[in-house]
């Protein structure tokens, strides 16, 4: 994808403007080597000057996309043994197993593919130049469109560049931009009434703003991608190990997901710091985000993923259950210390895996703590005693 | 510290009536009747409604008593009973065994303060008076400039509303310095020129029980939040007496106090119950940590600054998460061994490095630093 951008500078210089009617008659576009610049015909002078300055912006974008954050996938892969050893300790294992290593390698390959798909999607293919008052008026009249939504009290336009990624059954990554049909990011250029009157100064200002937008946006996105990936890989490795070694009964869901999240987080705490681990999974933030689902959360009856319909899997409630399952384990660790977790797995392992159900898990918990596991299940925050 | 305000607009909606007004001069004097500890105020024309309500006074009182008498984990009474146990946990967590009596005195004083406050809140929130009003009467009286507690007249819309907002303040010695203002009466709507049926009264009884439950829950939440704030304040006071006057060390007593208060609640009850006490503090912390401005923890601002409080607390949470709960207590124990003049932020950081072979800076949230360097 990034190689495809080679030679962009030359092509931009040679391309011609072509009028392309859009829904507003005065909107026109010019296309240069894969990048479409859309603007009002009255701003043609600005657009032409701005286009001349695009090559270094795109080059900087390319560099930002290729620059790893402080938890790059490469660093994560390199330190595989450190992370897996930390996770293994919480599972009561002396060291990571061969299967855990294989799962780690397989998962990191999968997320590398995902990373490529995201990097491609995050590289802009469109520049949208708008006069701010006109864009605000348009959003007020018609509501959000493919590129912008009204935001804040003053209805200032907000670019719709938020993304999410999913993997289909063929393990291809699919990137979607929130609330749009777009598959690629775009660069917003908003001309304001108090912009400098001088054309060169105005172009300078917006080139600088565009550079800031691309740099901060992409740096944050790349960092977020890496953070999510690292947490996700560890989660999957731990969950696989729990299911393949300790419990595979149909009622296992919350325990496996909660433990996988918690142990992945703890492994990251041990290998790095809590501040960095929270970038991979911030339970407090997740609980705030999914708090509205709390009364519907039913961990004991949370179906295993293979028993769920597609709609059930994509529901907010399903996502919320992850947070509340993690909270149960985090609460237990807060009350009894994290040392209880490997001891708990040791107790569970006294029963052959094919005989283990959540009753076995709860019984093991009673033996260790004298407490009822169900007492840790979520209840309404403001419930009356 | 500021108490939680109790929104009471649940009552307001029921009061908005829809009929035309008559003149103030035509309004008859109000009458009163009493039964089972309740008083009912009404206009003569609404005596039938008043009598029906009076017949239900016993039921009203039972619903009220059940809500006022709600018991919860560390109610003021339980706090008083368990003050020794809590003080033991607090002094252990703070690594200050010699100050156990001071911790107990703080908890006991908090229990007394909250006990008084609990009664005041109950009296403020749960009235034993009912006022039956027609909208036309209210508009006439309020429009003529007469004051009726809780009611507002909106002349432009020819409308009235009822609202109350009890709030309170406790000082750092757990004395109530601002008292919750009583709601006074429970307003009951009387439709114009319509006889209130038995079915309508039965519905009102149901509504009242629901209202009592909701207000009881809100009151309990307010007391829980106040309990956590009081424990935190008490711990901070004691830690501050152990620290030096060096302002660089302020973050240590502030950060440790909230962490210790939370852990004491977790150990005394459970993490889920502790959440009920710390929910507002946690949300404030979450919001404060979103603030992007960089801060220097060793330069504590004169005005209360939530970002500083949040960051100081987060560091103690991080230490506990990284090294265990016991590690925080061990760190504090070593800190108290230093001569008072050396109990500074720099020495604390040095101790941390010595004990855990790593820099405390690694546990600091983004944008937070020690000193200007």
Set of chain B residues whose Cβ sits within 8 Å of the Cβ of A337 = 324-325
Tell which residue, A377, A275, A381, A380, has the closest CA to residue A329. A377
Does the structure show a pLDDT above 90 at B107?
Answer: yes
Residues B29 and B174 in one domain: yes
CATH number, domain at B359?
1.10.390
Preferred mutation among A266, A273, A336, A372 to probe B, highest tally of B CBs within 10 A: A273
Q: Does A168 touch chain B (CB under 8 A)?
A: no
Residues B169 and B291 in one domain: no
Of A285, A288, A335, Cβ closest to residue B271: A335
Q: Give A134-177 as a DSSP string.
A: HHHHHHHHH---SSEEEETTTTEEEE---EEEEE-TTS-EEEEE
Residues B145 and B114 in one domain: yes
Q: What are phi and psi of A72, to 5 degrees?
A: -75, 160
Cα distance from A191 to chain B (closest Cα, Å)? 27
Within its chain, how far is the Cα of A153 from the centroid? 27
Structure-token pair, residue A196: 């400098």
Those residues whose C-beta lies under 8 Å from the C-beta of residue B158, and which sit 6 or more positions away, are B21, B139
Set of chain B residues whose Cβ sits within 8 Å of the Cβ of A275 = 318, 362-366
Highest averaged pLDDT of the listed ranges A285-299, B76-90, B128-142, B185-199: B76-90
The percent of residues above 90 in pLDDT, for chain B, comes to 39
Residues B220 and B251 in one domain: no
Number of domains in chain B: 2
The more confident residue out of A126 and A70 is A126
**What interhelical angle do A253-271 and B306-323 show, nearest 10?**
100
Q: Does B272 touch chain A (CB under 8 A)?
A: yes
Residues B96 and B150 in one domain: yes
What pLDDT score was predicted for residue A110? Answer: 81
Domain boundary among B194, B224, B254: B224
Tell which residue, B229, B263, B233, B231, has the closest CA to residue B332. B263
Domain boundary among B191, B224, B257: B224
Those residues whose C-beta lies under 8 Å from the C-beta of residue B358, and which sit 6 or more positions away, are B352
Residues B30 and B88 in one domain: yes
Structure-token pair, residue B50: 């008043």
Q: Across chain B, what does the average pLDDT equal?
A: 84
Q: A384 and B217: CB-CB below 8 Å?
A: yes
Q: Does residue B269 belong to any structural domain of this protein? A: yes
Digit-coded pLDDT (tens) for A37-86: 999 999 999 999 999 988 888 887 777 777 666 667 788 888 999 999 99
Shortest CA distance from A327: residue in chain B: B272
What pLDDT score was predicted for residue A166? Answer: 67
Set of chain B residues whose Cβ sits within 8 Å of the Cβ of A331 = 270-272
Of B272, B362, B365, Cβ closest to residue A331: B272
The more confident residue out of A367 and B280 is A367
Residue A298 and residue A352 in contact, taking contact as beta carbons nearer than 8 Å: no
Digit-coded pLDDT (tens) for B169-204: 888 888 888 888 776 677 887 777 777 788 888 888
* Residue range A224-248: mean pLDDT, rounded: 89
Q: Does B287 touch chain A (CB under 8 A)?
A: no
Does the structure show a pLDDT above 70 at B138?
Answer: yes
State how beta strands B38-42 and B31-35 pair.
Answer: antiparallel
Q: Distances in Å between the alpha carbon of B242 and those of A211, B96, B228, B235, B236?
A: 51, 9, 21, 11, 10
Domain that holds residue B328: 246-369
**Domain ranges, ordered by start, for chain A:** 3-69+115-223, 248-385
Preferred mutation among B7, B219, B271 to probe A, highest tally of A CBs within 10 A: B271
Digit-coded pLDDT (tens) for A182-210: 888 899 999 999 999 999 999 999 999 99
Residue B161 and residue B12 in contact, taking contact as beta carbons nearer than 8 Å: yes
Q: Quick one: pLDDT band at residue A12, thresholds 50, 70, 90?
A: very low
Q: Quick one: pLDDT band at residue A13, thresholds 50, 70, 90?
A: very low
Q: Distances in Å between the alpha carbon of B253 and those of B150, B300, B349?
A: 42, 12, 14
Q: Across chain A, what does the average pLDDT equal?
A: 83
Digit-coded pLDDT (tens) for A271-285: 989 988 988 888 988
Does the structure show a pLDDT above 70 at B219?
Answer: yes
Residues B117 and B84 in one domain: yes
Tell which residue, B266, B256, B260, B121, has the closest CA to residue B180. B121
For A130, the enclosing helix (H) or strand (E) is strand A126-131
* Residue range B121-125: mean pLDDT, rounded: 83
Cα distance between residue A338 and residue A334, in whole Å: 7
Q: Does residue B173 belong to any structural domain of this protein? A: yes
Structure-token pair, residue A23: 């829904």
Q: A288 and B321: CB-CB below 8 Å?
A: no
CA-based R_g, chain A, Å? 25
Q: B216 and A337: CB-CB below 8 Å?
A: no
**What interhelical angle do B250-268 and B306-323 show, nearest 10?**
60
Does the structure show a pLDDT above 60 at B365?
Answer: yes
Does the structure show a pLDDT above 50 at A269?
Answer: yes
Q: Quick one: pLDDT band at residue A314, thresholds 50, 70, 90?
A: confident
HEC-encoded secondary structure of A220-272: HHHHHHHHHHHHHHHHHHHHHHHHHHCCCCCCCHHHHHHHHHHHHHHHHHHHC
C-alpha torsion sign, points B82, B84, B89, B90 = positive
**What interhelical angle do B271-289 and B306-323 show, nearest 10?**
130
What predicted TM-score, i.e. pTM, was given to this entire model?
0.75
Q: Does residue B302 belong to any structural domain of this protein? A: yes
Residues B271 and B215 in one domain: no
Set of chain A residues whose Cβ sits within 8 Å of the Cβ of B363 = 273-275
Digit-coded pLDDT (tens) for B22-69: 444 556 689 999 999 899 999 888 898 899 989 999 988 888 888 887
Q: Does B73 touch chain A (CB under 8 A)?
A: yes
Q: A382 and B221: CB-CB below 8 Å?
A: yes
Within its chain, how far is the Cα of A90 from the centroid? 26
Q: Quick one: pLDDT band at residue A120, thresholds 50, 70, 90?
A: confident
Cα angle at B126 between B36 and B73, to 5 degrees? 115
**CATH code linked to domain A248-385:** 1.10.390
Residue showing tokens 């609990």: B118
Q: Does B178 touch chain A (CB under 8 A)?
A: no
Digit-coded pLDDT (tens) for A172-186: 667 777 778 888 889
Q: How many residues does chain A have?
A: 385
Q: How many CB pairs under 8 A join A and B?
A: 61
C-alpha torsion sign, points A225, A227, A230, A234 = negative
Cα distance between residue A202 and residue A212, in whole Å: 15
Of B282, B324, B365, Cβ closest to residue A284: B282
Q: Does residue B220 belong to any structural domain of this protein? A: yes
Cα distance from B97 to chain A (closest Cα, Å)? 22
Residues B181 and B257 in one domain: no
Q: Quick one: pLDDT band at residue A348, thresholds 50, 70, 90?
A: very high
Does the structure show a pLDDT above 50 at A22?
Answer: no
Does the structure show a pLDDT above 70 at B71?
Answer: yes
Preferred mutation among A334, A341, A378 to probe B, highest tally of B CBs within 10 A: A334
Residues B135 and B20 in one domain: yes
Cα distance between residue A61 and residue A124, in whole Å: 9
Does the structure show a pLDDT above 90 at A152?
Answer: no
Q: Does B322 touch chain A (CB under 8 A)?
A: yes
Residues B252 and B118 in one domain: no
Cα distance from B365 to chain A (closest Cα, Å)? 6
* Residue range A333-352: mean pLDDT, rounded: 96
Q: Does A269 touch chain B (CB under 8 A)?
A: yes
- Which residues, numbered 360 to 379 in chain A, qualify as contacts with chain B under a Cβ-Cβ cut-off of 8 Å? 375-376, 378-379
Q: Does residue B4 belong to any structural domain of this protein? A: no
Structure-token pair, residue A261: 């999240």
Cα angle at A367 between A365 and A368, to 5 degrees? 65
């Amino acid at each position: 994808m990034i190689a495809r951008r080679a030679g962009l500078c030359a092509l931009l210089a040679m391309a011609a403007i072509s009028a392309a009617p859009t829904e507003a008659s005065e909107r026109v576009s010019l296309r240069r080597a894969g990048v479409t610049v859309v603007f009002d015909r009255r701003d043609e002078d600005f657009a032409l000057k701005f286009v001349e300055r695009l090559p270094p912006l795109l080059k900087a974008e390319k560099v930002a996309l290729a620059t790893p954050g402080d938890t790059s996938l490469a660093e994560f892969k390199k330190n595989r043994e450190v992370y897996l050893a930390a996770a293994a300790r919480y599972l009561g294992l002396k060291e990571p197993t061969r299967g855990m290593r294989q799962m780690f390698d397989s998962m990191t390959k999968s997320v590398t593919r995902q990373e490529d798909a995201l990097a491609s999607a995050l590289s802009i293919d469109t520049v949208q130049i708008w006069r701010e008052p006109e864009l605000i008026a348009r959003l007020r009249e018609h509501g959000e469109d493919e590129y912008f939504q009204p935001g804040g009290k003053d209805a200032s336009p907000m670019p719709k560049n938020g993304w999410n990624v999913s993997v289909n059954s063929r393990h291809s990554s699919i990137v979607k931009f929130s609330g749009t049909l777009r598959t690629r990011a775009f660069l917003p250029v908003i001309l304001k009434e108090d912009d400098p009157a001088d054309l060169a100064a105005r172009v300078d200002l917006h080139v600088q703003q565009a550079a800031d937008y691309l740099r901060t946006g992409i740096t944050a996105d790349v960092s977020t991608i890496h953070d999510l990936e690292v947490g996700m890989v560890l989660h999957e490795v731990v969950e696989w190990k729990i299911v393949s070694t300790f419990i595979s009964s149909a009622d296992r869901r919350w325990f496996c997901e909660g433990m996988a999240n918690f142990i992945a987080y703890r492994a990251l705490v041990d290998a790095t710091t809590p501040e960095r681990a929270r970038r991979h999974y911030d339970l407090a933030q997740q609980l705030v985000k999914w708090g509205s689902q709390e009364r519907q959360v039913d961990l004991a009856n949370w179906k295993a993923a293979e028993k769920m319909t597609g709609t059930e899997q994509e529901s907010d409630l399903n996502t919320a259950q992850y947070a509340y399952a993690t909270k149960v384990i985090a609460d237990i660790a807060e009350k009894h210390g994290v040392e209880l977790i490997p001891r708990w797995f040791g107790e569970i392992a006294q029963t052959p895996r094919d005989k283990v159900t959540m009753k076995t898990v709860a019984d093991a918990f009673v033996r260790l703590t004298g407490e009822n596991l169900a007492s840790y299940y979520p209840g309404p925050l403001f419930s009356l005693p | 510290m500021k108490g939680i305000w109790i929104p009471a607009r649940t009552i307001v909606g029921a009061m908005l009536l829809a009929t035309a007004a008559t003149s103030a001069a035509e309004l008859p004097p109000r009458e009163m009747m009493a039964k089972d500890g309740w008083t009912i105020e009404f206009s003569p024309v609404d005596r039938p409604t008043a009598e029906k309500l009076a017949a239900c006074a016993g039921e009203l009182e039972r619903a009220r008593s059940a809500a006022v008498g709600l018991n919860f984990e560390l109610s003021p009474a339980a706090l008083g009973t368990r003050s020794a146990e809590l003080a033991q946990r607090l002094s252990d967590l703070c690594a200050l065994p010699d100050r156990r009596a001071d911790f107990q005195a703080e908890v006991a004083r908090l229990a007394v303060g909250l006990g008084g406050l609990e009664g005041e809140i109950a009296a403020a929130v749960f009235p034993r008076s009912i006022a039956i009003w027609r909208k036309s009467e209210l508009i006439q009286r309020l429009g003529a400039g007469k004051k009726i507690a809780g009611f507002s007249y909106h002349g432009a819309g020819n409308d009235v509303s009822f609202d109350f907002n009890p709030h309170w303040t406790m000082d750092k010695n757990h004395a109530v310095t601002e008292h919750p203002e009583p709601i006074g009466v429970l307003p009951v709507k009387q439709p114009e020129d319509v006889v209130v049926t038995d079915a309508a009264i039965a519905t009102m009884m149901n509504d009242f029980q629901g209202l009592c439950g909701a207000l009881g829950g809100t009151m309990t939440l307010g007391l829980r939040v106040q309990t956590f704030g009081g424990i935190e304040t008490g711990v901070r006071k004691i830690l501050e007496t152990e620290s030096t006057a060096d302002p660089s060390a302020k973050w240590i007593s502030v950060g440790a106090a909230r962490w210790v208060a939370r852990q004491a609640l977790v150990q005394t009850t459970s993490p889920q119950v502790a959440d009920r006490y710390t929910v507002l503090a946690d949300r404030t912390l979450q919001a404060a940590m979103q603030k992007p401005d960089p801060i220097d923890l060793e330069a504590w601002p004169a005005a209360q600054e939530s970002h500083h409080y949040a960051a100081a607390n987060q560091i103690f949470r991080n230490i506990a998460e990284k090294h265990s709960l016991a590690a925080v207590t061990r760190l504090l124990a070593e800190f108290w061994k230093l001569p008072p003049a050396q109990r500074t932020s720099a020495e604390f950081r040095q101790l941390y490095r010595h004990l855990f072979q790593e820099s405390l800076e690694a546990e600091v949230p983004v944008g937070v630093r020690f000193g200007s360097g």
